[in-house]
Structure 1
Amino acid sequence: MSQPLVLTLRLDAASETVLTELRARYFPKARNYLNAHITLFHALPSSAHTPMEKIISQIASRELRFTVGIKNPFPLGKKGVGINIASHKLRGLHEELMEEFAKERVVLTEQDQRKIRPHVTVQNKVGQDEAKRTLEELRESFEDRPGTAEGFTVWRYEEGGEWTHLKDFPFSLS
């Protein structure tokens, strides 16, 4: 069976650096394979790579870079912490991607069929006490900030949990 594809939203370098530093500080080192990212779809079928690439490319090529809010830390269940990403534009793009994937009969997992709750995971799969301490610490120190959505990135999820970068789809500058 082919490995699934992951679609993420790419942020500007300054925002990615701030969020990746949080991830490096709080995410379990043995599981931290990636820089900070916003996952839009977690497990797209690799068999649908060609129609998906066409859809993603068409949408990205017509979109302008846009501002997102990087906001308030929140609990990810009982064993992790995320940072909310606020953007009506992003929610609209996610819905459009879902509609276009449906037209091409791209089969989505149950998780990927849900409305998106955009966030960056800065901690996951730790004990409840550690997650609670992290959340309290971040709530005291984290400052909301704007970020810029710069495009989409497609990854291949590998056995063992690592991701392989496949392709970037930048948004237009103007």
Structure 2
Amino acid sequence: MSGTGAGPPGGPPAPLVLALGLDPGDQEHLDELRRRHFPPERLKVGAHVTLFHALPGERLPLVLAEVADACRRPRFDVEVSGVRSLGRGAALVLRSAALDALRADLAGRFAPWLTRQDAQRFSAHVTVQNFVPPERARELVARLSAGFSPWTVRATGVEVHRYAGGPWELLETVPLG
């Protein structure tokens, strides 16, 4: 673990963010796309596949235990299947029955703590651009979509981060398998 990531003095610890861990080469490729297209002043974290946006920080030991249990499954591939508009940004669409199953398993374990955002239908994606004017976003969606060919990335685990007011603090990576 790299630190405590406490919340405000006297308050509860900051929320936990869970993201899919990817093969380092795949992660670097997605990070490069994000660095190239994301407004630099808004770039606080690298490319990521968010599984949960805000689990209770005070439940860290239980979250880690549940994640470790859920990760007792083989590593798997995830298809990068297309591009979609976010209105003021662009995202890569991800498809994987194994990813959906992992996320559903964790959602069941964390059901009492899920925020409205985390209780919604899961739509796996990687945001490569956000917070730009709609016309700029449309241009990138068109550029990325032109001649798009699906490819796969390799899921390697689940990363548990503490939200640090913009950036995330990586607490632990729980490997699959």
Query: AA paired with 2:98?
Result: K
1:24-173 map, 5 Å: 24-60=35-71, 62-76=72-86, 78-102=87-111, 105=112, 107-159=113-165, 161-172=166-177
Structure 2: give runs of 5+ residues left out of the alignment: 1-10
- In the alignment of these two chains, the number of paired residues is 166
Once the two structures are TM-superposed, the CA of residue 33 in structure 1 deviates from its matched residue by 2.2
Q: Find the aligned partners of 1:12 and 1:165 in 2 and give their Cα distance.
A: 16
Query: AA paired with 1:20?
Result: D
Once the two structures are TM-superposed, the CA of residue 32 in structure 1 deviates from its matched residue by 1.1
Query: AA paired with 1:64?
Result: P
Residue 9 in structure 1 maps to residue 20 in structure 2 = yes
Once the two structures are TM-superposed, the CA of residue 143 in structure 1 deviates from its matched residue by 2.8
Q: Deviations over 1:76-125 (max 9, x none)?
A: 1x1011001100111111111111123xx4x1110001121000000011
Once the two structures are TM-superposed, the CA of residue 141 in structure 1 deviates from its matched residue by 4.9
CA RMSD of aligned residues (A): 1.2
Segments of 4+ moved more than 6 angstroms: none
Q: Deviations over 1:2-44 (max 9, x none)?
A: 3111000011122112211110110110111222110000111
Q: Deviations over 1:107-160 (max 9, x none)?
A: 11100011210000000111111101111111115431111110000111112x
Once the two structures are TM-superposed, the CA of residue 72 in structure 1 deviates from its matched residue by 0.8
The percentage of counterpart residues that share the same residue type is 36
Structure 1: give runs of 5+ residues left out of the alignment: none
Q: Find the aligned partners of 2:129 and 2:157 in 1 and give their Cα distance.
A: 24
Query: AA paired with 1:92?
Result: A
**TM norm structure 2:** 0.89
